[in-house]
Amino acid sequence: MTTRTQRHRSLVVSGILLVLLSGCSGEGADTSVKVAEAAVTAKEKALTEAEEAEKAAAAEFCTASTTYITAIDRYGDVLNATAPTVGDVRDAGSDLADPAQDAQEAAGAVAEARQAVATAEQELAEAQAALATAEASAAGTSPSAAASSPTASPSPTATPASVTRVQEAEAELAAAQSGITDSTPLAEAAEQFNAAAVALEMAWLQLLGDSGCLTDAQQDEAAKAVDSYTTTLQQALADAGYYDAEVDGVYGPKTVAAVEALQKANGLPQTGTLDKASEQALRSELAVKGGAAAQEATASTAAVQQTLKLAGYWDGPVDGQWTDALTDALEELQEDLGVEVTGTVDAATIAALETAIADARTTPPATPAPSESPEPTATG
């Protein structure tokens, strides 16, 4: 065989090898793309499953929270009027432990489920970026900057104010519970525990609404009206020097204590409820201070008038003047809703106002039947 022939054959073999190598290279690129596509499909499925798990966890939270709120209501009397016994007060709500734990565990499950969704979203973004890189490599081009840089992991959501309020209310209830002893007068014990229970129940109702469990726009309107009243009252008490806590719209033990301090300073019965005499005393003190402080008293009464007007119990002017007619309107509301008729604004009255507003647009004022699920509110 001549050298020329050998050289020719060598070139042919080399050409065949180049073709084969080229074909293998293409198959490898195709394989990389298929692997990347499979990864994207798997991550899409994982994200769908994580989102479904989050929905299930949220539904469980709504159920557990509603059960807990119903248990608290035995002591708060926000949704249904009840009459705790001496034993109930002495036990100080020990029957709340299990429902509280269930609600807290359900809240934790929601947080974990949401984190799982965030992780699944991040992993899907990374898989999509890998696919883009594989496709670009197979085509002999460079992947785009967007495709090669997956989306950054989302930062944890800040703790919402409603969660913080629940935590504070839980601590206040525990403090009220520890402060009740065998020597505590029954009336005082009931008042202390009721005020703390109302604050806790209202806080959970707000959290329930914020979590998407309840979405009634009419309830939102009611919540804002009552929250406005409580916030205005707290600010007025602060301006008068009786309230030094955060103005948060929660009619709880701190607000009750401030009203009692006002009443004590003016020689009035220390009930912790803002009756006509207490309102006038607060107005007088703020008038002496003048300026913005004086305006708070008028705003506080105007908020009561506006709230009663929303509920359909007040057709007079919203002028910030507390009159006998306004007291009568409060008493009518309390009588219709089956709460104690006092003509004063306390935690129970605020809850009654919210309930009345919730029903005002659909039914005339009437004694409500016990509801299967609580209505959202913004105060506690």
Q: Range of 233's domain?
A: 216-367+374-380
Res. 365 pLDDT band, cuts 50 70 90? very low
Residue pointed to by tokens 């601590």: 171
Residues 359 and 229 in one domain: yes
Q: Is residue 69 part of a domain?
A: yes
Q: How far apart are CA 210 and CA 225, in angstroms?
A: 17
Residue pointed to by tokens 């119990």: 313
Q: How far apart are CA 8 and CA 6, in angstroms?
A: 5
SS3 345: strand
Say whether pLDDT at 222 is over 70: no
Q: How far apart are CA 133 and CA 29, in angstroms?
A: 11
Q: How far apart are CA 368 and CA 145, in angstroms?
A: 62
Residues 195 and 291 in one domain: no
Q: Is residue 315 part of a domain?
A: yes
Residues 298 and 192 in one domain: no
Contact 68/100 with Cβ under 8 angstroms? yes
Predicted confidence (pLDDT) per residue in 71-92, tens digit: 887 776 655 666 666 666 667 6
> Which pLDDT does position 9 carry in this prediction?
55
Residues 118 and 222 in one domain: no
Say whether pLDDT at 141 is over 90: no
Residues 227 and 313 in one domain: yes
Residues 53 and 96 in one domain: yes
pTM (2 d.p.): 0.53
Residues 221 and 360 in one domain: yes
Q: How far apart are CA 375 and CA 353, in angstroms?
A: 12
Residues 238 and 263 in one domain: yes
DSSP H/E element including 332:
helix 324-337
Residues 207 and 192 in one domain: yes
Predicted confidence (pLDDT) per residue in 92-140, tens digit: 677 888 888 888 888 888 888 888 999 999 999 999 998 888 888 877 7
Residues 305 and 325 in one domain: yes
Predicted confidence (pLDDT) per residue in 18-43, tens digit: 444 444 455 666 788 888 889 999 98
> Which pLDDT does position 303 carry in this prediction?
73
Q: For the chain, how many structural domains are there in total?
A: 2
Residues 229 and 300 in one domain: yes
Q: Is residue 87 part of a domain?
A: yes
Specify the higher pLDDT residue, 293 or 287: 287
Residues 229 and 184 in one domain: no
| Region of poorest pLDDT, from 93-97, 157-161, 230-234, 314-318 | 157-161
